[in-house]
Structure 1
Amino acid sequence: MRAKYEAIDFDTPHPSDYQISLDVPRCHQYHHLLSSAEGHTKLTRILQAWVRLNPSLNYWQGLDSLLAPFLVLNFNNEPKALFCLHQLVLSYLKPFFIKEKSVYFQEHLIIYEQLLSFKDPELSVHLSNIGANSDLYGIPWFLTMFTHIFSVDKIPRIWDTVLISPESLPLFIAVAIMRQLRQQILSLDFNYFILLFSSMPSIDIEKCIQVALQELTNTPPSVTAPKYSFAKDHKNEDSEKWWENRIPLEKLRKELFPRLSIHDLVNLYAGGSQAPEVRNGIGLVVLDTRDAENYNYARFVGSIRVDVEDKMASLEKHRGKYIVIVGKEDQRTIEFTNSLVRAWFPLVSLLNGGIDC
């Protein structure tokens, strides 16, 4: 990387140079190294090197925050700081920097909102009711791997965990942050919510990480799996796994709940390693929304048929269990599943592909 760094042509202007010149003076200016003239020079030079070495990727505001921890740790070794930034982006954040990043951003935020509903529907519904959508705060969180909201000295603890964990961990960290602030958030309207997040409140990072890791362990993987960006796009409608086809973002956006794979449902039912608190079906209820005739013809073992018109009170005994909705993927089933989330039932999901999968 040193040879590449020293061979870079910094004299020829690049379209991103101007934006870099605007971002650098704002980058973690409380830090004595990053706020110094030498720090500004190094930040600028490394960012300019990155855009020239990655012509297929787009510069995005926030890259300076991603670089900051690496520069602090390698202040006298610019090539090494650049190498660390380069590897982090390629390994964990590349979709955020490609030209089609808008689609990836949208789905990432949808998955985050659905995960929040899965873990804390009361908080999720409140945010929706006051109009505090995740695009108001979530993009800089995920784009900068939380360097935009936490001081540079706190980032290594977060990154050390993220870099050795499944790629979905940042989603769980974001949920853990929101749940740590839930009592404040539940008392706020839209304006005060924006005010609260304009200057990030103090967060117990260690507690946040531990909660995120625990929730990651207790959550079926398909809950946070992409259903559009990286889903399979089968051309053959007779494919054995047609239910893995891409789901349109507009459809996903209307679903307050995550979709569960048949593999994860079977794993939950059997008390698999991804859900250690579930054993022999205890803690899990599968609700079938089809009519009696179809239900009696074929059904998932142990499932319960429900009428989507029934009052929610009849389901109270299942609150706190994993609730998986199966049946036809029609509008009635979608709305029924949404209604469970709006009634603050946690751990609600829809079987992806419905009973036919």
Structure 2
Amino acid sequence: MRPLRDAQLGAFTFFASALPHDVCGSNGLPLTPNSIKILGRFQLLKTISHPRLCQYVDISRGKHERLVVVTEHYESSLNDFQKQVQTVSPERVLQIAYEALEGLEFMNKHGMVHRALNAQNVLMDGKGKVKLAKFGLYYMTDHGADVDFPIGYPSYLAPEVIAQGSVHPSDPSQGENPLPSGPKTDVWSLGVLLFELCAVSSLKPPCLDLMNDYLIELSVRSCIDDIVTVLAEEHGCLDAIRVSLKSIISHCLLHWSAKTTLRPTPAELLVDPVFEGVSCLYAPFQQPVGLFSSSLRCAHLELPEDISQLCKDDDEEYLGERAIDEVYHLWCLAGGDLEKELTNKEIIQSKPPVCTLPNFLLEDGESFGQGRDRSFLLDDTTVTLSLCQLKNRLKDVAGEAYYPLLEDEQSSLSQSNSSNELSCTVTLPLIIRERDTEYQLIRIILFDRLLKAYPYKKNLVWKEARVDIPPLIRGLAWAALLGVEGDIQAKYDSIDKDTPIPTDRQIEVDIPRCHQYDELLSSPQGHRKFRRVLKAWVVSHPDLVYWQGLDSLCAPFLWLNFNNEPLAYACMSAFIPKYLYNFFLKDNSHVIQEYLTVFSQMIAFHDPELSNHLNEIGFIPDLYAIPWFLTMFTHVFPLHKIFHLWDTLLLGNSSFPFCIGVAILQQLRDRLLANGFNECILLFSDLPEIDIERCVRESINLFCWTPKSATYRQHAQPPKAQGDSSTNGFGKAANYYSSDYQDMPKTDLSREPLALSDLKAEVSPRISAEDLIDLCELSVGGQTKRSKASKPKILAVDIRSIEDFGRGHISGSISIPYSTAFSPDGELVQCPATGTLQSFRGRVIVVINCFDSIRVIFRSSTDLHSKSYGNHGLFNQTGVQFVFPH
């Protein structure tokens, strides 16, 4: 969106038509409320940005089908201009006409018609330029079908619109519905506006009051000729100006009858010769290049000849240089309340419940009760939202914060603002940071600059995303983290999304059940976009198939990029190979079974007590975890929790979801340990409230503790090239978290794939020799990097024979030959080494049988019990990898 500059934020409200409560649609579901339909259509209006149109910002849905629309606003209108200016020069009239036609033409290119033009809705900015307001009301209400009031003002409506009458477009008793108004309707309204402007300027009131009489009783062309002649004589330019004004107004008001074929469209009027002297004053509008495009984003950037012009004055209004949607977002964070603002201006009037009783009709026909509440009709008053509270909140933010330096070695946040309070905000919980006005301003500005430099500043985007991601620009930030690049629009357009395919039926069934608590996704527009994005993915991936759950996976990307289907599709297409590689094969059983087995081993590694209990009662991951991983938890959690969860998930590699799953189980640990199989099934059928911030925090800790090769999967995504920034999601502090084993050359982690049956037979994970070296904090040459004061992280237990141990072993490992530690039936035999094992409770124990493959490890605080070894068969002499739980 364009900067706020001298504009203001305005809000107006209206009611959508109420639907009967006892009526269902053809699918048996309740009808979608009209307010939801309007909310879905409104989203497109936020993308319509033109210098001659007031920018739409947001819409909110209240009680009783009330809708409040936020838009760019200016206090001055054409009506005020007529009252303030005694005479209007003909040149100025032509300029106003040309500017209004520019806005109308741009609307028409996007399939929209104003239909509500009047002098109050033609606003003028500080430079006197035309800004058309409320241009989306006709579109968002489905040509007036979703509201109980007509769209437009009778004095300005075209004859063909008046001839249709007040038939409601959705009224089934009216036969054929009237056709929606076209671009020529607005041309008539503009002609009336120009006619008024000329009449007021030349004849003065009370001619304005008699305008309708002129249009009815006199010949239009004769009236226009007389008025324009008087106007031209006053300015001494009888010939040229008289002819130009008469021509343009006459064209606009063609044809006086309901036949409008001769009336031109805005696009045709703009190229009319009468505007030759005006059009040269206006540069052609160029649509800004998007972040993901084949065009150069900097192609039209120019530096001024005097570089000092870039320097800002001390009195510069920095907030005015931010985008309108940013300012509104900060206004809300600073305590802005739309309904409160409208209530203070008496636009919204609350009434006691007793005054809102319905109207009763008695047996004798007498009516008793309330009449129609006029507050449910349209009040087109636009209330200006005061920015004083926001500016007061941001008064201590230094000017440098609006232009942060990206090349500084130190933290961008600390350089942006010297306030101690702001620096301390980073340590607060995420939900508090997201509601802090000053903090969000700094983060939004920083991410905005980084994303504009994407992909050049890709590494800095990753660095800042580790702190947090501002909700306002989460969609673009996710796309950058997923590595989306190129002309995504062209690729999306090239996919056939219209030809019927067998999957269509399943998609139609799934969409009405996917996150329908959300107003945006439950709207008809949301369903339509859902269908297009899902179908595009299915068609463009012929080797994969649609599985139930793909719709839930698509939901976060669609919600964040509701007005950018290509970006939603591109993000989804980049996300699935990274985290769900081959999950959507036609036969994906081997992929999912391997995934669940590795997850089971992760539970055993991080919490053996819980793992033993779940295995004893038969509550295996197959019973509860498939929806978790197939949808990456989107089927389990609402969207607002998914956003926070995925902010961290996208920084990790494909093994991070295992840690999320373990973190969820640990939050439910006490209840799981205390319950049996049936109780656990009931517990997961209605999952209790999960603290997402705690889940994210514990997931990171678990991942930092997990050796890279412990989560090796045969069916994971093939290795990528080295140097991928996605391998540095959590910085250098996370030793194992800092790189993805799948992004390493195969020689880095020497893990060999196991058959699925063999993998299932093992309770705990294996690791590579390279990971063992990392765990022991040893270099390849055997020199320790561990400080003398620190304790060893692991205990290496070598179960080979004493002879093999003597020929060579890892420094610091202890020898416990299998034959001396266990009886023939698998029971642990008390030996001197038992005390050593007891002292390592809570640490990692690695059991080694041969150096080419190693078996890990458990980390727990439970005591050693000989029974636990024998019952689970964790030691055997036939395998080459073993695990020693504790």
With normalisation by structure 1, the TM-score equals 0.82
Tell me by how many angstroms 1:18 deviates: 1.9
| Equivalent runs, 1:262-273 vs 2, <5 Å | 262-270=769-777
Please tell me the residue identity of whatever aligns with 2:758.
Answer: K
The aligned counterpart of 1:297 is 807
Checking the alignment, whether the CA contact within 8 Å between 1:58 and 1:98 is kept in structure 2 is: yes
The aligned counterpart of 2:545 is 58
Tell me by how many angstroms 1:276 deviates: 8.9
Q: Please list the CA deviations of residues 234-281 of structure 1 after superposition, one character each: whole Å capped at 9, or x if unmatched.
A: xxxxxx999633211111111111112111112222268xx9999877
d(CA) in 1 for partners of 2:673 and 2:660? 19
The answer on 1:90 being equivalent to 2:612 is no
Change (3 A) 1:124 1:354: closer
| Equivalent runs, 1:39-118 vs 2, <5 Å | 39-99=526-586, 101-118=588-605
The aligned counterpart of 1:246 is 753
| Equivalent runs, 1:66-215 vs 2, <5 Å | 66-99=553-586, 101-215=588-702
Secondary structure of the residue aligned to 1:244 is: coil
Checking the alignment, whether the CA contact within 8 Å between 1:127 and 1:133 is kept in structure 2 is: yes
Please tell me the residue identity of whatever aligns with 1:265.
Answer: L
d(CA) in 2 for partners of 1:33 and 1:230? 33
Change (3 A) 1:49 1:200: same
The answer on 1:308 being equivalent to 2:308 is no
Q: Please list the CA deviations of residues 50-99 of structure 1 after superposition, one character each: whole Å capped at 9, or x if unmatched.
A: 11122122211111001111221222332322222222223332321234
Please tell me the residue identity of whatever aligns with 2:811.
Answer: V
Checking the alignment, whether the CA contact within 8 Å between 1:243 and 1:353 is kept in structure 2 is: no
d(CA) in 1 for partners of 2:612 and 2:754? 23
The aligned counterpart of 1:236 is none
The aligned counterpart of 1:256 is 763
Please tell me the residue identity of whatever aligns with 2:849.
Answer: G
Change (3 A) 1:277 1:145: farther
Tell me by how many angstroms 1:136 deviates: 1.4
Tell me by how many angstroms 1:328 deviates: 5.4
**2:846 corresponds to which of 316, 321, 324:** 324
d(CA) in 2 for partners of 1:45 and 1:145? 21
Please tell me the residue identity of whatever aligns with 1:293.
Answer: E
Change (3 A) 1:251 1:191: same
Please tell me the residue identity of whatever aligns with 1:258.
Answer: P
Please tell me the residue identity of whatever aligns with 1:300.
Answer: I
d(CA) in 1 for partners of 2:542 and 2:788? 48
d(CA) in 2 for partners of 1:278 and 1:184? 42
Please tell me the residue identity of whatever aligns with 2:777.
Answer: A
d(CA) in 2 for partners of 1:241 and 1:87? 25
Q: Please list the CA deviations of residues 288-336 of structure 1 after superposition, one character each: whole Å capped at 9, or x if unmatched.
A: 222333333333322222233143765322322211001159xxx99x9
Change (3 A) 1:229 1:10: closer
Secondary structure of the residue aligned to 1:210 is: helix
Q: Please list the CA deviations of residues 199-247 of structure 1 after superposition, one character each: whole Å capped at 9, or x if unmatched.
A: 2211111111111112212222111122576799xxxxxxx99963321
Tell me by how many angstroms 1:195 deviates: 1.0
Tell me by how many angstroms 1:198 deviates: 1.1
The aligned counterpart of 2:348 is none
Change (3 A) 1:341 1:278: farther
The answer on 1:285 being equivalent to 2:285 is no
Checking the alignment, whether the CA contact within 8 Å between 2:578 and 2:717 is kept in structure 1 is: no
Please tell me the residue identity of whatever aligns with 2:838.
Answer: E
The answer on 1:223 being equivalent to 2:710 is yes
Q: Please list the CA deviations of residues 170-222 of structure 1 after superposition, one character each: whole Å capped at 9, or x if unmatched.
A: 11111111101101111111111111111221111111111111221222211
Tell me by how many angstroms 1:342 deviates: 3.9
d(CA) in 2 for partners of 1:107 and 1:341? 28
Tell me by how many angstroms 1:103 deviates: 2.0
Checking the alignment, whether the CA contact within 8 Å between 2:749 and 2:769 is kept in structure 1 is: no
d(CA) in 1 for partners of 2:801 and 2:778? 28
d(CA) in 2 for partners of 1:269 and 1:318? 15
d(CA) in 2 for partners of 1:29 and 1:163? 25
Please tell me the residue identity of whatever aligns with 1:198.
Answer: S
Please tell me the residue identity of whatever aligns with 1:286.
Answer: A
d(CA) in 2 for partners of 1:34 and 1:97? 23
Checking the alignment, whether the CA contact within 8 Å between 1:117 and 1:124 is kept in structure 2 is: yes
Please tell me the residue identity of whatever aligns with 2:761.
Answer: K
Q: Please list the CA deviations of residues 16-37 of structure 1 after superposition, one character each: whole Å capped at 9, or x if unmatched.
A: 2122122112101221222233
Change (3 A) 1:90 1:321: closer
Gaps of 5+ in 2: 1-487, 720-746, 780-784, 823-827, 859-864
d(CA) in 2 for partners of 1:226 and 1:349? 23
Please tell me the residue identity of whatever aligns with 2:770.
Answer: H
Tell me by how many angstroms 1:2 deviates: 2.9
Change (3 A) 1:148 1:164: same
Please tell me the residue identity of whatever aligns with 2:806.
Answer: N
Change (3 A) 1:300 1:66: same
Change (3 A) 1:297 1:210: same
Checking the alignment, whether the CA contact within 8 Å between 2:714 and 2:753 is kept in structure 1 is: yes
Change (3 A) 1:204 1:341: farther
Please tell me the residue identity of whatever aligns with 2:771.
Answer: D
d(CA) in 1 for partners of 2:658 and 2:807? 40
Tell me by how many angstroms 1:114 deviates: 0.8
Q: Please list the CA deviations of residues 91-134 of structure 1 after superposition, one character each: whole Å capped at 9, or x if unmatched.
A: 33232123453222122111111111111001111111111111
Secondary structure of the residue aligned to 2:618 is: coil
Change (3 A) 1:106 1:241: same
Please tell me the residue identity of whatever aligns with 1:325.
Answer: V
Checking the alignment, whether the CA contact within 8 Å between 1:218 and 1:276 is kept in structure 2 is: no
Checking the alignment, whether the CA contact within 8 Å between 1:117 and 1:257 is kept in structure 2 is: yes
Of structures 1 and 2, the larger Rg is shown by 2
Secondary structure of the residue aligned to 1:95 is: coil
Secondary structure of the residue aligned to 1:174 is: helix
Please tell me the residue identity of whatever aligns with 1:267.
Answer: D
Secondary structure of the residue aligned to 1:300 is: coil
Question: Which structure is richer in relative contact order (CA contacts within 8 A, separation 6 or more)?
Answer: 1
Please tell me the residue identity of whatever aligns with 1:311.
Answer: V
Secondary structure of the residue aligned to 2:796 is: strand
d(CA) in 2 for partners of 1:16 and 1:263? 46
| Equivalent runs, 1:5-44 vs 2, <5 Å | 5-44=492-531
Checking the alignment, whether the CA contact within 8 Å between 2:712 and 2:751 is kept in structure 1 is: no
Q: Please list the CA deviations of residues 127-184 of structure 1 after superposition, one character each: whole Å capped at 9, or x if unmatched.
A: 1111111111212211211111110111111111111223321111111111011011
Change (3 A) 1:55 1:23: same
d(CA) in 2 for partners of 1:148 and 1:341? 39
With normalisation by structure 2, the TM-score equals 0.35
